[in-house]
Chain A
Amino acid sequence: MNRYIYLDNAATSFPKPAAVQKKVAQTLRFFCANPGRSSHRLSLRASEEVYLCREKIAAFFGGYDERVVFTMNATASVNTALKSVLRRGNHVLISDIEHNAVLRPVAALAKKGLITYDIFKTAEDPVIQIREITAKIKPETALIVCCHHSNICNFTLPIASIGNLCRKKGIYFMVDASQSAGIIPIDIEKDNIDILCAPGHKGLYGIPGCGFCLFGKKFENASLLSTFTEGGNGIASESLYMPDFLPERLEAGTLPLPAITALSAGIDFVRQTGPERIHRKEIILSSMLRKKLSELENIAVHSEKDGSILLFSVKNCLSEDFASRLDSKGICVRAGLHCAPLAHRKLGTPKDGAVRVSFGYFNTPADVEKFALACKKITESEIRRK
């Protein structure tokens, strides 16, 4: 029996499905060789497992398997994509709820004088959203980057409409699906996405250590992409340069095989369970918790909609202090700014941020009951003390 309640699934989903745990164990025990390096059976088995995962990602998100590029995590995916696509003098638009995974690399490129960027206001209404973005587009705008779903509230951007605008304007469209992959359906063709970046260890239920970029049709000619990291990948070793085709052009060094096979099993789990079912469960739990927290006078819930995330702050209590008190009761949540200062600014949370509860498929109504009771006890003790 668990002695904790895990409500930090937006950071990484936990626990992992039994099939994922089994696949990792099998990988480590039977074929954890270096994929794409040798011709012996274990290396080839490893290569086949890597390819299988590319196929599953491509099938899940409507893309092409050879345009799946593996990275360490979603942040590495965003960095790889940005630095492969952007050229000196380009202008980039990002949303006002971006995670630091997007904000920091864009800001760093701007600081070096390589690009300029602006931030557009987000709106869930596609018409308003398109108007906001259109007003910010410049002749030199080459790329629009946005998250699909915020990591601190249940705000989903109308990516299909933004993608359609990008297609019409000849601008690349890149989506950070860190909080939506595996939960909200994405089809890179239908949603007009040129580059999809995602982690393997959150809504796709893999383990930390692997993320990916899925490039769209525009990158059939991979020489359009600058290389971000260079090194060995077992192909054309005589050349000084990385291959001019995907995925190998952007994959240097040994791939994280256990994380990749875990992602394969995680995608199977999500497909079998159904992303809609997973999301519906999270919405129900979020709704239950919202009702319970609204009965506590010292708690202010910042999320307007129910979904996988519920953000709140507590009167007269720092968010990290409250999270620490929850931890002492065996409850795992994340407090602070969640690497998303822009989004916190937009939501108007206190200076020290807020407490984030993020649900996963394995959470239960009993978790919500226990969490709400713990909050009640802590806030009542706070009231008594103040």
Chain B
Amino acid sequence: MNSSAIFILKSVTTAIKAKSFLTSAGIDAKIIKHTSKDSGCRYGISVRQSASDRAAEILSENQITPISQFFA
């Protein structure tokens, strides 16, 4: 089963930008919404777990700092 790496971002605006950067780098990225009672509703990006390190690098290169990151 393929698992995903989830990057939780500050807003939908940031998620759209992140998706654009990742897609341009050839990484298949999907915008997701993540809600919890603690953090409220947030948008994020889902990529294949195998692409998570490269995705983190690309986000960092583009000054996008995830609020949190986890695997699902």
Q: Is B12 an interface residue (CB 8 A)?
A: yes
Complex contacts, B33 vs chain A, CB 8 Å: 38-39
Render A223-263 as a binary contact track against B, CB cut-off 8 A, 1 for contact: 00000000000111111000101011000000000000000
B54 interface hit (Cβ, 8 Å): no
Q: How far is the CA of A331 from the CA of B50 in the complex (A)?
A: 66
A247 and B13 within 8 A (CB): yes
Q: Is A47 an interface residue (CB 8 A)?
A: yes
Taking the complex as formed, is B48 at the interface, i.e. its CB lies under 8 A from any CB of chain A? no
* A51 in contact with B37 given A39-B31, A236-B42 (CB within 8 Å): no
A-B contact pairs, 27 of them (CB 8 A): A38-B33, A39-B33, A47-B12, A47-B13, A47-B16, A47-B31, A51-B13, A51-B16, A51-B17, A66-B13, A234-B12, A234-B41, A235-B11, A235-B43, A236-B39, A236-B40, A236-B41, A236-B42, A237-B35, A237-B41, A238-B37, A238-B39, A243-B11, A245-B10, A245-B11, A248-B11, A248-B13
Total chain B interface residues with beta-carbon distance under 8 A:
18
By the criterion CB–CB under 8 Å, are A235 and B38 in contact?
no
Q: How far is the CA of A50 from the CA of B21 in the complex (A)?
A: 17
As a 0/1 sequence over residues 1 to 19 of chain B, the CB contacts with chain A under 8 angstroms (1 = contact) are 0000000001111101100
Q: Which residues of A contact B12 (CB under 8 A)?
A: 35-36, 47, 51, 234-235
Count of chain A residues near B, Cβ 8 A: 21
Residues of A within 8 A of B (CB): 35-36, 38-39, 44, 47-48, 51, 54, 65-66, 234-239, 243, 245, 247-248
The chain B residues found within 8 Å of chain A, CB to CB, are 10-14, 16-17, 31-33, 35, 37-43
CB distance from A252 to the nearest CB of B (A): 14
Contacts of B13 in A (CB 8 A): 36, 47, 51, 54, 65-66, 247-248
* Interface core residue of B11, B14, B17, B38 (most chain A CB under 10 Å): B11
Chain B residue at smallest Cβ distance from A248: B11
Question: Which 10 A-B pairs rank lowest in CB-CB distance, beginning with the nearest?
Answer: A238-B40, A39-B33, A237-B40, A36-B12, A51-B16, A236-B40, A47-B12, A237-B41, A235-B11, A248-B11
B37: nearest residue on chain A (CB-CB)? A238
The residues of B that contact A245 with a CB separation of less than 8 Å are 10-11
Contacts of B38 in A (CB 8 A): 238
Q: Which residue of B lies closest to A238 (CB)?
A: B40
Query: Using Cβ atoms and an 8 Å threshold, which residues of chain B touch A247?
Result: 13
> Within 8 Å CB of B39, what residues of A?
236, 238
Shortest C-beta distance, A243 to chain B (Å), equals 7
Given A235-B42, A237-B40, A248-B11, 17 new contacts (CB under 8 A): A36-B11, A39-B33, A39-B43, A44-B31, A51-B12, A66-B17, A235-B10, A235-B41, A235-B43, A236-B39, A236-B40, A236-B41, A238-B37, A238-B40, A239-B40, A243-B10, A243-B11
Complex CA distance for A45 and B40, rounded to whole angstroms: 22
Task: For the complex formed, measure the closest distance between the CB of B4 and the CB atoms of chain A, giving whole angstroms.
Answer: 14
- CA distance in complex: A163, B17 (Å): 31
**CA of A44 to CA of B18 in the docked complex: distance in angstroms?**
14
Q: Which residue of A lies closest to B15 (CB)?
A: A47
Alpha-carbon separation in the docked complex, A36 to B14 (Å): 11
Q: How far is the CB of A57 from chain B (nearest CB, A)?
A: 13
Q: What's the nearest-Cβ distance from chain B to residue A365, in Å?
A: 45
B38 CB to nearest A CB, Å:
7
Q: What is the CA–CA distance of A36 and B33 in the complex, to the nearest angstrom?
A: 10
How far is B12's CA from A163's CA once the two chains are assembled, in angstroms? 33
